[in-house]
Amino acid sequence: MVQAINLTCENTTNPIGTPQHPRFSWQLKSDKNSVLQESRQLQVSADENFSDIIWDSDRVCCSNSIFVPCAKLLSPQRRHYWRVKVWDNHKNESHWSEAANFVTALGEDCFTATFISGENADSGASSAGTMLRGEFTVKSRAKAAFLNSTALGVYRLHLNGSRIGDIAMAPGWTEYNSRLLYQSYDVTSLLCEGVNVVGAMVGPGWYKGDIGFQGKRNNYGQQTAFAMQLTILYEDGSTETISTDENWRASDGPVTYSEIYHGETYDARKEPINWTRSEFDVSGWRDVSTLAANPAIVVPQDGPPVRAREVWKAEKIFTAPNGEVVVDFGQNLTGWVRLRVKGNAGDVVKYSHSEVLDKDGNFYTKNLRSAKQKISYTLKGGTDEVYEPFFTFQGFRYIRIDEFPGNYSAANFEAVAAYSDMPETGSFKCSHPGLNQLEHNVRWGMKSNFLDIPTDCPQRDERLGWTGDAQVFIRAASYLHDISGFFRKWLRDMAESQLPDGAISHVIPDILSHWSFENKPFTPATGWADAAVICPWITYVYTGDIELLRESYPMMTAWVEYIRSQSRMGLVWSDGRHFGDWVALDAKDGSYIGATPTDLIATAYYAYSSELLTKAAVRLGKDDDARKYFKLREEIGDAFVKEFFTPTGRLAARTQTAHVLALHFGLTPSEYRKRTIDTLVEILDEYDNHLSTGFLGTPYICYALSENGNLDLAYELLLKEDYPSWLYPISKGATTIWEHWDGLKPDGTMWSDDMNSFNHYAYGAVADWMYSVIGGIDSDPTEPGYRHSVIAPRPGGGITSAITTQLTPYGKLVSDWTLEGDTMRLNITIPHNTTATIALPKGKISENAGLSFAFDGRGSSAAVGSGTYRFVVENVEVK
């Protein structure tokens, strides 16, 4: 028996707004082991009964079951149904799968709606929201209706008295000058014959609000605007398009102030009753203005939207030592507070947000810098009222109640966690409670900062898409959540923002490319701009989306060629602005940049990016480029050795990060490897086997040790509980990853007030080592997306069990091991249509699941097909 299950289109279940050539994926279900798909047949139909077939692939001999493209250009703005039948290597033919569906987006360049605004050209200083309202007539019963909308700013949409969808902070943040996303909604059930009313509330958001630590606003324009295009398909076969135009009306609304950094002021007394119903009196509303906009830049949503994903109840309310009343939600997160209140008209609720308490237990906001993170809500009175902010989000664990009418309790407040709608894919649990909490903290660092773009932090006056933070963390991110759509969207903005010479900004979307720092002009930073190569490659390896790699390849090439233009004899000199090993503990007093020379780091990353570009060229069949960049990588490696190693094999920079990068990026000659490893161990010993690394050294230090005969030391580093270590913040009550190893010092004082985020995921990159070494799960880059997996758990550190799962594109991958004395028991599950290599640690294999293992000196390995297996190894050597 074999069956196709879990059908997705563009990696989403039943999506709305897909390309007209969508891509299909499915998984296999079978009662046999070692199941591989040998052929498949796809059908796309205009109806769910498949009586009106639009495209039939016929039976195709093909093993691929992810990102399979539709060969026919489908009609825009139509719901389509699809199904798949498969044949496997056991001569089984499946039934047709259950049907899935999708709705295609508008055709290319078909978004032609007029942008309308309730503001005027000199509204740049306004942080208020506006309300826009339009009426239209539906002539008869609609068979289907799809609404496509976007904004210059952020918006929320209503139709005939009901909110449309549940997306927050739409349309998201992109390179607005070249890419503006529109969202698609099925509104068939909300339409009625006769007069219908659409209403949009629009706020400043990223478009014209305060964004960036330079204190600037109006980065893209001074006027918010909204555009909508509604396609109605009638029962009689006719269609009609309704769009925003000059006949719409505008008004001020209840959102009197809203800024992403500073919070929101909302006056419920100003809510117009039934304003999106036909009976509403619009006579007091004003005319809208129209804006000239380039419709060619308006494109369908191409990443997961932001949604409210989880709710945390208030754990406790307490009075701080200074007398302030504080609510603790028990988890540092990004989102907003859902307020429940009852009182009189004109009563006001005010509260402020914070991540941490100070050493005395008081509410602490100095690390927010200029961000206010305050909410003010004025009651309309008379009924129970529920309020959630419209156009802002905050980073917080605590709120301080600054004003509240009457009595309150924990039931009045809930914390709503919002982040991009990325399904969870990985889970990790082991016998060490501290590591389980660390994985939790890493995951919540990701959730908190993957809100439409990968931000550095969610609370202070920054919240920018820093490229360095994203590239060091992306492999860990791939284990935790489905990153395919999220990084596709962000990488497209990166490509759009790439400068003509190939340079990449520090942040994407780019509001800093002309930024002057310390009176120096903008230049790209090593380890940050290399995200242009690293992020596409890692996304490809862990999702299997080769089209993303193909699309990103010109950007990847342009960046490597930029570095080549800046290098001399294969070396990258430290001209311009580099962040180096950011916030490393071996930095000089008063500096954020660690002691590792920036030219060494730059050359190491030049080599790494060239190596990944070579691999990408191979995968894309670009043979000439593959040879070219392979040769370049060899030249860089030779130059690195000549410049940074002495003839006797001593690495010139005696820092942890220098040795880690030289080892992990393959820049250490074989004859120098032992000395380099020994020196790294010596330096660690000088730090009492603690870290001194920053953003660029930390992600790889455990790998540099475990891959070079020092697995025990890697475990020791990971399991340290005193400062500086990954577990030290947990001892201080952390529920996310900190920006600094000592954000909160042992004596309770803060590292600093100006740059001290307690929700900053970069150091959480260690999670990929936890998943791939402790859990033992990894994807073979030569067969990406876990088409071929490597299961190789390496016990150590006194850990006696670990169960790690990964929801791959093909199904769930499981590695579940226990250690009793020196006996290891391993249970694994390999998804159908994939294979794996099982690598067992050195010892006597007493239960082998019928497989033939080969010994390689470090352990034994065997090839295996899909299914569930059990292995037992006795006399295991545990580090």
Give the residue numbers marked as catalytic: 462, 739
In this structure, how many other beta carbons lie within 10 angstroms of the beta carbon of residue 107?
13
Can you read off the two tokens belonging to residue 231?
């396609």
Distance CA 824, CA 871 (A): 8
Cβ pair 183, 299 in contact under 8 A: no
Omega before residue 509 within 30° of 0, cis: yes
Question: CA 404: distance to chain centroid?
Answer: 36
Q: How far apart are the first and last CA of the chain?
A: 44
Can you read off the two tokens belonging to residue 142?
């609609």
* Closest C-alpha to 140, from 239, 249, 206: 239
- Does residue 107 sit in helix, strand or coil? coil
Cβ pair 350, 402 in contact under 8 A: yes
User: What is the per-residue DSSP string for 368-420?
Assistant: GTT---EEEEE---SS-EEE--SS--EEEEEEEEEE-SS---GGGEEEEEEEE
Residue 555: in which H helix or E strand, if any?
helix 546-566
Can you read off the two tokens belonging to residue 26?
């499915």
Q: Using alpha carbons only, what angle is made at residue 475 by residues 472 and 478, rounded to the nearest 5 degrees? A: 135
Q: Which amino acid is at 777?
A: I
- Name the CA dihedral angle for 458, 460, 463, 464, rounded to a multiple of 10 degrees: -150
Residue 138: in which H helix or E strand, if any?
strand 130-138
Question: Parallel, antiparallel, or unpaired for β 325-341 and 348-354?
Answer: unpaired
- Does residue 867 sit in helix, strand or coil? strand
Distance CA 8, CA 807 (A): 14
Cβ pair 684, 627 in contact under 8 A: no
Tallying the residues shown for the chain, one arrives at: 879
In this structure, how many other beta carbons lie within 10 angstroms of the beta carbon of residue 257?
20
Question: What's the Rg (C-alpha) of the chain?
Answer: 28
Q: Which amino acid is at 779?
A: S
Question: CA 93: distance to chain centroid?
Answer: 38
Helices (H), 61-133: none
Question: Parallel, antiparallel, or unpaired for β 298-300 and 263-267?
Answer: unpaired
Distance CA 37, CA 87 (A): 6
Cβ pair 626, 560 in contact under 8 A: no
* Closest C-alpha to 453, from 470, 477, 429, 439: 470
Distance CA 813, CA 867 (A): 10
CA distances from 502 to 435, 560, 628, 872 (A): 41, 8, 18, 53
Distance CA 353, CA 401 (A): 9
In this structure, how many other beta carbons lie within 10 angstroms of the beta carbon of residue 56?
13
Distance CA 226, CA 117 (A): 6
